[in-house]
């Protein structure tokens, strides 16, 4: 068995691993001026670099809820990396280099209509602050807003977790996450505690029942990635510049949720099928509102909520429809158009989303945030290739579309095959309002990037 790599928790940003748990967040998006962007970028980064929260501080806070007044994360656009003299990092990933607004196959509204990151308001530096105490969070935010750096504030978004960690459609979120492989000390203590388990029929390994282990290079540059054919073995790290090590790629999308539209349209579909609307909504998600999966509704404990697979219990979608959101974006132990179940582990993402807006307000939804090291093969594959396509992820079967996040072209119909029959709609319940693809550097890289004379002196001029 290959040894798992040591993870440098003092270098990795806490928003990547283990994620922020605080109740409140504030996202500040800045645009660099065209005139001397490097000076402005360095000035803004100088005010926050010393305050970036490490994974070790994040883990301590998660365990004890003390030790941090506010947590902070920083992410950068390709334009910022170019301004700082790092073309190599700016082109580290194709989708990131091109930018979210050019990824037309996501079927987003034209960027001119975006409220986040539209033309002239693209986010070059994203600062995410988090806190349980709103006064401390406001103070930390004000300090950054008051610093005069020459950068323009183009996005200022508050977010708050809803009680019970539900999202605005009323479903519990944040249940299923991949468990990172890796150790955190000389003694070989794993980052994610392991529960001894017998070998599983799907040949995958779990930190505890349901929480499948994934090699950390899927989420952090410079570390071993997941093999596409063997669920337990690593593949070589993606070749990247040294400064990318322990960094990650962030997908940020502001997704507005039309809750009245969702409730009315799902009630209509339920009436057509003669079933309870709550039952129909659970079939669209793949879980009940309290998080119980449709394939194991007897689950009660937090651990049991994620302890399920599909191949043995429900291969053809007779208990949980193939079109259910969680099944479209994670078919778990089932073969897909991309190959054996091992391949599915390479598409995993670390979800760090948080709800925004008050219940009953028309402006509410999810700030969808996720980390990976390949935006095309991870976020985009799930959100477009699988969610939007009835022929995937199961080959040769009618999967239907993911009616929660899937999108069709205007004027066309989306349909899903549920347990009691087929449903279709012309409505979208989730409206993308914009966002950005960003690079979230390690803490040491952030320091190096903001120091003008290091780490890459300009090449000597030819004589
Ligand atoms: Fe989804 N929802 O309320 O229906 N999501 N999601 N998501 N999502 C999940 O299992 C939701 C979105 C994933 O491993 C749950 O933790 C909503 C995007 C993945 O079994 C619920 C929105 C993408 C999983 C929701 C939204 C994903 C997942 C169950 C938008 C991009 C894990 C809770 C407003 C690819 C699946 C849980 C697994 C779970 C909802 C967006 C992906 C309730 C409302 C854009 C990978």
Residue ranges per structural domain of the chain: 253-346+392-433
The CA–CA distances, whole Å, from 95 to 91, 143, 416 equal: 9, 33, 29
Report the b/e string of 378-396 with b at 16+ CB within 10 A. bbbbbbbbbbbbbebbbee
Q: Of 303 and 128, which is predicted with more confidence?
A: 128
Return the ligand 1 atom nearest residue 287 CA: 29
Identify the band that residue 1 occupies on the pLDDT scale cut at 50, 70 and 90. Answer: low
Provide the 8-state DSSP code for 178: P
| pLDDT given for residue 105 in this prediction | 87
189 has a pLDDT exceeding 90: yes
- Using alpha carbons, select from 71, 156, 107 the residue that is nearest to residue 367: 156
Q: CA 197, CA 254: separation in Å to the nearest integer?
A: 39
| pLDDT given for residue 409 in this prediction | 76
Using a 6 Å cutoff on CB, does residue 173 contact ligand 1? Answer: yes
Q: List beta partners, residue 423.
A: 416
- Say if residues 32 and 125 touch (Cβ distance below 8 Å): yes
Q: What is the pLDDT of residues 69-116, one digit of tens each?
A: 899 999 999 999 999 999 999 999 999 999 999 998 899 999 999 999
- Say if residues 202 and 311 touch (Cβ distance below 8 Å): yes
| pLDDT given for residue 359 in this prediction | 92
The mean per-residue pLDDT over the stretch 6-30 comes to 98
| pLDDT given for residue 199 in this prediction | 87
Q: CA 304, CA 306: separation in Å to the nearest integer?
A: 5
The mean per-residue pLDDT over the stretch 297-310 comes to 93
The mean per-residue pLDDT over the stretch 294-303 comes to 93
Q: CA 107, CA 446: separation in Å to the nearest integer?
A: 33
Using a 6 Å cutoff on CB, does residue 130 contact ligand 1? Answer: no
296 has a pLDDT exceeding 90: yes
Burial class (CB in 10 A: 0-12, 13-18, 19+), 447: middle
Lowest-pLDDT choice from 86-100, 327-341, 395-409:
395-409
Return the ligand 1 atom nearest residue 379 CA: 35
User: What is the 51 CA–ligand 1 centroid distance (Å)?
Assistant: 31
66 has a pLDDT exceeding 90: no
| pLDDT given for residue 197 in this prediction | 87
Best residue among 285, 382, 405 to mutate for probing ligand 1, ranked by most atoms within 8 Å of CB: 405
| pLDDT given for residue 459 in this prediction | 47
Using a 6 Å cutoff on CB, does residue 430 contact ligand 1? Answer: yes
Protein residue closest via CA to atom 14 of ligand 1: 176
342 has a pLDDT exceeding 70: yes
Report the b/e string of 225-250 with b at 16+ CB within 10 A. bbbbeebbebbebbebbebbbbbbbb
- Say if residues 79 and 37 touch (Cβ distance below 8 Å): yes
| pLDDT given for residue 457 in this prediction | 47
| pLDDT given for residue 461 in this prediction | 42
- Using alpha carbons, select from 245, 247, 244, 220 the residue that is nearest to residue 234: 220
Using a 6 Å cutoff on CB, does residue 257 contact ligand 1? Answer: yes
Burial class (CB in 10 A: 0-12, 13-18, 19+), 135: exposed
* Phi–psi pair at 436, nearest 5 degrees: -165, 155
User: What is the 390 CA–ligand 1 centroid distance (Å)?
Assistant: 18
Using a 6 Å cutoff on CB, does residue 403 contact ligand 1? Answer: no
The mean per-residue pLDDT over the stretch 311-335 comes to 96
Using a 6 Å cutoff on CB, does residue 171 contact ligand 1? Answer: yes
Using a 6 Å cutoff on CB, does residue 175 contact ligand 1? Answer: yes
462 has a pLDDT exceeding 80: no
Block residue for tokens 């609307």 = 277
Q: How much is the mean pLDDT over the chain?
A: 94
Query: What is the signed CA dihedral for 9, 301, 369, 406, rounded to 10 degrees?
Result: 150
User: What is the 133 CA–ligand 1 centroid distance (Å)?
Assistant: 27
Q: What is the pLDDT of residues 208-256, one digit of tens each?
A: 989 999 999 999 999 999 999 999 999 999 899 999 999 999 999 999 9
The CA–CA distances, whole Å, from 17 to 57, 100, 133, 241 equal: 10, 23, 22, 21
Alpha-carbon radius of gyration of the chain: 22
| pLDDT given for residue 346 in this prediction | 98
Q: Give the β-pairing of 179-180 and 211-214.
A: parallel
The mean per-residue pLDDT over the stretch 187-208 comes to 92
| pLDDT given for residue 406 in this prediction | 86
455 has a pLDDT exceeding 70: no
């Amino acid at each position: 068995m290959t040894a798992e790599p040591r993870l440098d928790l003092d270098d990795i940003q806490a928003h990547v691993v283990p994620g922020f748990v605080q109740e409140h967040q504030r996202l500040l998006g800045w645009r660099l001026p065209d005139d001397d962007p490097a000076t402005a970028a360095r000035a803004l980064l100088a005010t926050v670099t010393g305050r970036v929260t490490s994974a070790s501080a994040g883990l301590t806070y998660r365990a004890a809820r003390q030790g941090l007044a506010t947590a902070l994360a920083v992410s950068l656009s390709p334009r910022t990396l170019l301004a700082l003299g790092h073309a190599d990092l700016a082109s580290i990933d194709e989708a990131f280099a091109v930018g979210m607004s050019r990824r037309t196959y996501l079927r987003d509204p034209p960027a001119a209509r975006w409220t986040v990151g539209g033309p002239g308001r693209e986010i070059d530096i994203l600062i995410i602050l988090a806190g349980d105490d709103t006064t401390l969070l406001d103070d930390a935010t004000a300090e950054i807003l008051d610093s005069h750096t020459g950068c323009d504030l183009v996005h200022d978004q508050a977010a708050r977790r809803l009680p019970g960690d539900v999202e605005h459609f009323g479903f519990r979120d944040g249940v299923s996450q991949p468990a990172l492989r890796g150790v955190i000390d000389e003694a070989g203590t794993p980052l994610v505690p392991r529960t001894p388990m017998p070998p599983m029929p799907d040949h995958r390994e779990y930190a505890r029942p349901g929480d499948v282990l994934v090699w950390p290079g899927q989420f952090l540059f410079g570390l071993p990635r997941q093999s596409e054919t063997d669920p337990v073995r690593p593949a070589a790290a993606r070749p990247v510049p040294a400064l990318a090590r322990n960094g990650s790629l962030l997908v940020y999308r502001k997704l507005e949720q039309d809750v009245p539209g969702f409730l009315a349209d799902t009630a209509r579909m339920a009436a057509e099928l003669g079933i309870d609307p709550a039952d129909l909504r659970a079939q669209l998600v793949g879980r009940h509102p309290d998080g119980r999966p449709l394939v194991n509704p007897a689950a009660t404990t937090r651990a049991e909520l994620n302890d399920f697979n599909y191949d043995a219990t429900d291969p053809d979608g007779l208990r949980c429809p193939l079109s259910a959101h969680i099944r479209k974006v994670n078919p778990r132990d089932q073969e897909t158009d991309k190959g054996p179940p091992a391949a599915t582990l390479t598409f995993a993402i670390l979800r760090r989303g948080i709800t925004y807006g008050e219940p009953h307000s028309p402006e509410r939804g999810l700030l969808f945030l996720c980390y990976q090291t390949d935006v095309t093969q991870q976020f985009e594959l799930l959100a477009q290739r699988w969610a939007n396509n009835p022929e995937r992820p199961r080959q040769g079967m009618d999967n239907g579309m993911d009616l929660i996040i899937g999108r069709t072209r205007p004027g066309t119909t989306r349909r899903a095959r549920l347990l009691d029959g087929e449903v279709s709609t012309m409505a979208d319940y989730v409206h993308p309002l914009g966002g950005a693809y960003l690079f979230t550097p390690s803490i040491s890289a952030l320091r190096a990037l903001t120091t003008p004379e290091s780490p890459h002196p300009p090449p000597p001029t030819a004589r």
